[in-house]
Amino acid sequence: MHHHQHQHQHGNYNNNNHAAANNSYSSWQSSYSLNALPLSPTVRAKLQFCGFNAVQDVLRHHSLPVQLVKSVPSLTLDEAQDVLKACRCGLDGFALRGAKSASELLKKEQERIPLMTFCAQVDGILGGGVQTGEITEFCGAPGVGKTQIGMQLAVSVQLPKEFFCGNEGECVYVDTEGSFTCDRCEDMAIGARRKLEERVQEMRCSEEERREYEECLESNMFSVDSILKRIHVFRCHEVTELLACLDHMPEFVKEHPKVKLVVVDSIAFHFRQDFDDMALRASILAKTTNNLMSLAKKHELAVVTINQATTKPGGRLAPALGESYAHAATTRVALSWGEEGTRIAYVAKSPRLANRKAMYTITRDGVRDVVHAASKRKKFT
């Protein structure tokens, strides 16, 4: 209460001493339209409906939120406070509006359910799995299993919330290379069912609880057919199709609120083939990744991008699309071949994860742990 009084007194002070305290305000306030302020369209419409079109219209008779609410009854007190703050500060000093404390953000992060890869070692280096609310990139040479990981995540994002602590979501799979195959996805769906059934059998629980787990799997929630129905595949043959598809994505996610994963396989293919102008490519790529990051944060979903590897002088493999794209993903996982045909995942870049390696293999059922690799594992930990 004291805090609000202080704010209101401060508001009064600003208003009463307006001309004397800061003449620079009056110059822009007299010319600024409400359309130029960072207000939501609904709030702006409420003000315009009551005849307020310019900043000076609002400030002329209102120094407190409660006064503005009397003039515009459809506004809430919070909205009125935001309007007055915007009118006083203009575009300056408005960035702090809606700031969240680190404590709030931590709590939100802890509530997120990561997407399992079904390989305990890879999940381990990713802090439990692929995180929602950010972009994770998997890059590597052809045949190392990038698309397999993408399809595996398309299945595991659907794990039931009840009993199995999953996201119970849907997946959008944007396929630019024609590498998504339904048969392979069906194998993984069958494998995921089998994995969960094995887990139920291994659980130490009462018969009644076990029956509930089994019923959860038997229901349509996690049948092979329903898993495939919840994967929405967009096939993009050229860069204009890809950009149109990604532009449409926020609208599609709004219509399908259960979408918890967007896979772009691969982000590099068309950008490498269809552009001669490197500056234009970098600019469009930056805008595209910014939009994907906004999508991930706004809808609390995971965005997974698959990137190709390119050979640098000296035979070294490096992610495609160059240095300007290197910062686009929150987490970058480099996939490579190890000794004797083993596959290695390495966290190459992440603000929250250590640079660690893990071994994985691709089986008929999908991405899995390497069996009997205890002696080899010591080399990578």
281: amino acid identity, one letter: R
212: amino acid identity, one letter: E
State how far the Cα of 68 lies from the Cα of 45, in Å rounded to an integer: 15
CB 337 within 8 Å of CB 143: no
> Which of 78, 130, 91, 72 lies closest to 301 in space, CA to CA?
130
Residue 359 burial class via C-beta count within 10 angstroms: exposed 0-12, middle 13-18, buried 19 and up: buried
φ, ψ at 340 (rounded to 5°): 50, 40
For 130, which DSSP code? B
pLDDT value for 30:
56
Q: Which residue has the tokens 């967007």?
A: 262
State how far the Cα of 19 lies from the Cα of 16, in Å rounded to an integer: 8
pLDDT value for 381:
37
**Alpha-helix residue ranges (DSSP H) falling in 230-365:** 239-255, 268-273, 278-299, 322-325
Tokens, residue 185 = 């996805």
Q: In this structure, is the dihedral angle defined by the CA atoms of residues 363, 367, 372 and 378, taken in order, positive or negative?
A: positive
- Beta-carbon count within 10 A of 124 CB: 13
3-state secondary structure of 11: helix
pLDDT value for 91:
53
State how far the Cα of 24 lies from the Cα of 97, in Å rounded to an integer: 22
pLDDT value for 331:
94
Instruction: Give residue-wise pLDDT tens across range 93-115.
Output: 444 455 667 887 788 888 889 99
pLDDT value for 375:
45
Q: What angle do CA 274, 269, 324 make, to 5 degrees?
A: 85
pLDDT value for 215:
76
pTM over cut 0.85:
no
Specify whether the backbone of 300 is left (phi greater than 0), alpha (psi in -120 to 50) or beta: left
> Which pLDDT tens digits describe the chain residue by residue (381 residues)?
444 444 444 444 444 444 333 344 445 455 577 777 778 888 888 888 888 888 888 887 777 888 888 888 888 888 888 888 888 776 554 444 556 678 877 888 888 899 999 999 999 999 999 999 999 999 998 899 999 999 999 999 999 887 678 888 999 999 999 999 999 999 999 999 888 888 877 777 777 777 777 777 777 578 889 999 999 999 999 989 999 999 999 999 999 999 999 999 988 888 877 777 778 878 888 889 999 999 999 999 999 999 988 777 776 777 877 776 778 889 999 999 988 888 999 999 999 999 999 999 999 999 999 986 444 444 443
CB 301 within 8 Å of CB 322: no
For the chain, the C-alpha Rg in angstroms (whole number) is: 26
Instruction: Give residue-wise pLDDT tens across range 178-201.
Output: 999 999 999 999 999 888 888 877
Enclosing H/E stretch for 4: helix 2-16
Residue 186 burial class via C-beta count within 10 angstroms: exposed 0-12, middle 13-18, buried 19 and up: middle
pLDDT value for 131:
95
State how far the Cα of 191 lies from the Cα of 181, in Å rounded to an integer: 16
Instruction: Give residue-wise pLDDT tens across range 264-278.
Output: 998 888 887 777 777
Where do the domains of the chain lie, and which CATH numbers do they carry? Answer: 2-89 (no CATH), 107-380 (3.40.50.300)
